[in-house]
Structure formats: C-alpha cells, structure tokens
Structure 1
Amino acid sequence: MSAASTPPPPSSSSPSSPSSSPSAGPERPLRPALPGLRFAFGTLTVLPVRVRRWDRDAARGGMLCAPLAGLVVGTASAGVGLLLRVLGAGPLLAAVAAVAVPAVLTRGLHLDGLADTADGLGSGKPAADALRIMKQSDIGPFGVITLVLVLAAQVAALAQTWADSWARGALAAVVAAVVARLALTLAARTGVPAARPEGLGAAVAGVVPPGGVLAVALVVTAAAAAAGAALGPRTALLAAGAVLAALAAAELLLRHCVRRFGGVTGDVFGGLAETAATCALVLLSLD
C-alpha cells in the first residue's frame, strides 16, 4: 500500500501495537491534522512527503485523509487526459494515459497488491500458505489475469467517458481515484484485524472508528454528486451511485479476504483500492 514510506519494524512503540499510544482506542476525538495528512500522502503517493509519526493517531488521521490523496491523484489523472484531448488525442489514448497516472503516482503498488491478493485468493490454500504466496516477488497466473482484466476494464470505461465529453471523462478519473482511497478508509475501520503483525496493513488496521468512516463516506458521496450536478441531475445521481457501489464492492472483497487470510495486509488494501476504482469507472461509463 505504501508508495513512499516503509513502516518501522514492530516493537513496543510500533503503530502495529494498540498499546503504543494512549489514544489507540476509537473513543478518542478525531483530530485529522498535519500528521494525518503527512501519513496519507507519504504512504499513498510518491510525492516527497516525509512521514514523521507512525503512531495510531497519525495512522487514524492518515486513513481519514486518504480520499484527499486520491483527489490529488485523480486531478493529475484528469489533467493529463484533458491535455491529450486538447492536443487532439482520441478518447482511447486519453483513457490509457489517465489510467497510467495513478499507477505512476503510487509506483504501481496498488496494482501489485491487487495481483498478489488475486494469487492468494486463487491459490485455494490455507491462510498461512496464501499469505506466503502473496509475499513472493513474482506474480502468478491469477494475478496476471486479474491485472489484465482490471486494466482493460478501466481503460474501456474511461475511454467511453472521454468519448461522451471531456468533462465527464475528467469527472470519472477524479471520482475513481478518490473512491479508491475511500476504500482504504473503509478497510481501516475498527473491528477489521491485521493478517500479519508487521507491515503497513498492521499499522493502520482498526484505527478508524465506524463513525469516522461514515462521515468521510458521506462527504465523498455528496462531493461526487455535487460535481456530477454540473453535468446534469442524471450524472449527479450516477456519480453518487458510483461511490456507493464501489464501496459495496470493496466491502464484499474485504470480508472475503478477512475470512480467507484472517485479516488485512498491505496487498489487500491495494486490491480494495483497484476494485473500488474499477467499479466506479464502469458505472460512470454507463449512458
């Protein structure tokens, strides 16, 4: 899941330990601030942002701010697509470029997580063996097939939106990137365990109270509807529906991964992000 930072090894003060901070419990007031923003941008993008704190408060703020990192990634994606369209490129080329930008801004780690998750789930092996498969550096057949199909679906859906209008293509690129990171907020909620005691998945597992997830989801849904309203009431409903459907798809995958692996990992977070983005793009491409 991390694109720019690697969490420190677990210790008595590691963020993967609930006792590492007196504010580890969900009852503490939510205080998204600079540490949370640093955590979100430093772990979810390649932007040169140094993560100075790895405690549970910073992780909670980071996961609550994850959609803001998605907004930056999505704006860059839409900007590249728009530039190519202005220069005379067709919708297919604009779509390919728009899909490539988020991959570049995360060093492809969400796509890598998707492939590893597919290999782990497809192996049919017990949790410990599946997790070991996911940690291997190579990509198996399930991962390759999943990557090909997901990238093809993303490009095809975005090409359709760019063909409809430049504004709709830009909206789809932004919404998909934001909802992809919103899926991470969802997966970091209280009650979702980590599958391993180490790694970024363990650092953020269970840090966000359900009320925080609901609040951020409502804000993102309302913002997507407001942005879509500029293109008409139908697009507003479609944008809001895309956010909710993407979250539902991510939740189904999340529950399956928790049953299979015993919890979440950084790879699972990446798989959830790509699943949510793909679902949103497909719905936004519908006429």
Structure 2
Amino acid sequence: MTAARARIPGPLLGIVSAFALFSIIPAPVLPTIDRRIATRAIRSFPWMGLLLGMVAGLIAGAVLAADAGSWLAGVLALAWLAASTGGFHLDGVADTADGLGSRAGAQRALQIMKQSDIGPMGVISLLMVLLVDLGALTSLTGTAAGQGAGAWWRVGLLILIGPSVGRASILLATLPQVPCARPGGFGSLVAGVTRPGAASVNLGCLGLVWAAIGWLVAGWTGTLLVVISAGLALGWAMGWTRHLVRRLGGMTGDCFGSLNETTQCVLWVLLAIGAALLW
C-alpha cells in the first residue's frame, strides 16, 4: 500500500485523484482523501473529461470509419462514458430530479435524494438526458457521414469536448461562494475547493484547447462554433447551479452529477445544431 502511494508523482496527483474519485478506471492508491486531494482532483476534473472524451471520440470515429452507422457510433460513445464512471454522474441526474420533482421543502428534498431507490421523475429525467445525448451524437455523426469517408475524425474531435466542458462546470460550482447543502456528504468534500484565480486560469487553458480543437475541425468557423457552444453550455451550468442553490440551499454530490451531465448534454446539442447549419 505504501509503495503504491509513493509512486504518484506530485504533478500527476491531481489527474490520478480525479480518476480515483470519479471513475472506475484503476488508479494508484491515494495517499489520503481529504480537502487537499479534493482540490487537486477538481482542478484536474475537466482534463480527465478530455481524456475520457478522447476515447469516446475514437470509438465513434472508428465506427464511422468502418461505415457501421451513426446511431451505433453514438450509442457506443455514450456506453463508454457511462461505463468508465460507473454511472456515477447519471445517478446524480436521477436523484436530483427526484428531489426537485417532489416539490417538497429543501430538507425533505435532500432526504429523498439520499434514498437509494429511483422514483418516476428520476427515471424520466435520466431517460431524457440519455435520449437527448444520443440524439445529439447521432446528429453529429450523421452530419459528418454526409461529408464523405474522411470526415469521421471531425466528429471524434467534437465529441471529445463534451465530457471536458461538462466537468469544467464543476469548477464554477465549487467556488467558495457556492454553499454546500449537506455537510458530511460526499459533496461537502469538494464544495468550495476552487479558488477564483485557479478557476480562471484553468478555464482559460481549457478554452484554448477547445478553440484549437475547433480550428482542427473547421478553421475559424469551427473555432467560433466550439467557443460559443462551450460558453453557452457553461452559462447553462451557472444558471442550473443558482437554481439548485435556491431550491436546496446548496450543492450536493448528486447536484454535481446532474450539473456535469446536463452541461455535457447542452454542449453536444449546440454542437450538433451548429455543425448541421455550417456543414
């Protein structure tokens, strides 16, 4: 155990922590699980999303390159993203929907969210998010398929942005001014860990990477599409965070999961619509 811990280099501790805390992908044993580790994990969270997205993009691109159909490409990309996280964030979508859908007060809603079962609102919301995700990815892959056999890599690049933007929303939701609704829960471990300066630098670097990906896809047109879509998706994230804070008194682990998944969903929808209009 000690040897495994010692092998984690300092610069890699953040990304290792992100994979260890928020995925089922095997990672070295963490030295501890405390606020310091949580801070590093959240800072690396969008970059972890970029890595997961690369695999999803490669899967979708490979299916398109094999001419196996846009629908299968979208399904397999989503299956990878859900499997790699053990459905962790999707569970947050369902639990948050159950709590909000109960129309009960904040404390009762939080109790409902903590229960292990999923109610009708949770099932409906989970299905809707997945269906919209699938529709957006199918649209993206279908648009690329119409551009000829060599366009598969464009879709792969656009798909990989989604998990990164979704997780970037967590940077904004873990700023010090965003309260925690349930002290002692998993959400309290990461609540308020992101300093404004660190969030600005991180988002700035991510924005450059997203813009570069857009450039590779379609030059300045692709850059504008990606940057505007990411900005609008993060705008949604800020609005959803404010609503959750007003409704529940703060954020929980389930809230972070719903924020991640819905922001990713919004980003893919915007990219799909924009790509269809531009291509």
Q: Work out whether the TM-score is over 0.5.
A: yes
Letter in 1 for 2:224: L
- For the Cα contact (< 8 Å) 2:158–2:214, is it kept in 1? no
1:51 Cα deviation after fit: 2.6
1:55 Cα deviation after fit: 2.6
Counterpart residue number, 1:198: 184
Counterpart residue number, 2:214: 228
For residue 144 of structure 1, the aligned residue among 123, 132, 144 is 123
2:155 equivalent to 1:169: yes
Counterpart residue number, 1:16: none
- For the Cα contact (< 8 Å) 1:113–1:269, is it kept in 2? yes
1:248 Cα deviation after fit: 0.9
Instruction: Report the count of equivalent residues.
Output: 256
1:130 Cα deviation after fit: 0.3
Q: Distance in 2 between matches of 1:121 and 1:211?
A: 32
Q: Which runs of 5+ in 1 are unaligned?
A: 1-31
Q: For 1:91-130, what aligned pairs fall within 5 Å after superposition?
A: 91-130=70-109
Counterpart residue number, 2:5: none
Counterpart residue number, 1:35: 13
Please list the CA deviations of residues 252-285 of structure 1 after superposition, one character each: whole Å capped at 9, or x if unmatched: 1111111111111110010000111001000100
Q: Distance in 1 between matches of 2:67 and 2:13?
A: 42
RMSD: 1.4
2:163 equivalent to 1:185: no
Q: Distance in 2 between matches of 1:131 and 1:168?
A: 42
Q: Distance in 1 between matches of 2:126 and 2:34?
A: 33
For residue 251 of structure 1, the aligned residue among 238, 254, 257 is 238
- For the Cα contact (< 8 Å) 1:35–1:52, is it kept in 2? no
1:38 Cα deviation after fit: 2.4
Q: Distance in 2 between matches of 1:200 and 1:233?
A: 41
Counterpart residue number, 1:272: 259
Q: 4+ residue stretches of structure 1 with deviation over 6 A? A: none
Counterpart residue number, 2:193: 207
Q: Distance in 1 between matches of 2:186 and 2:199?
A: 19
Q: Distance in 2 between matches of 1:213 and 1:153?
A: 29
Q: Distance in 2 between matches of 1:81 and 1:69?
A: 19
Please list the CA deviations of residues 147-192 of structure 1 after superposition, one character each: whole Å capped at 9, or x if unmatched: 1211111111111111222233212221101011111122111111
Letter in 2 for 1:222: L
Q: Distance in 2 between matches of 1:66 and 1:54?
A: 15
Please list the CA deviations of residues 36-65 of structure 1 after superposition, one character each: whole Å capped at 9, or x if unmatched: 222211112211113322232221111111
For residue 30 of structure 2, the aligned residue among 42, 45, 51 is 51
Please list the CA deviations of residues 85-126 of structure 1 after superposition, one character each: whole Å capped at 9, or x if unmatched: 223211111011111111001111111101111111111111
Percent same amino acid among aligned pairs? 40
Matched position secondary structure for 1:129: helix
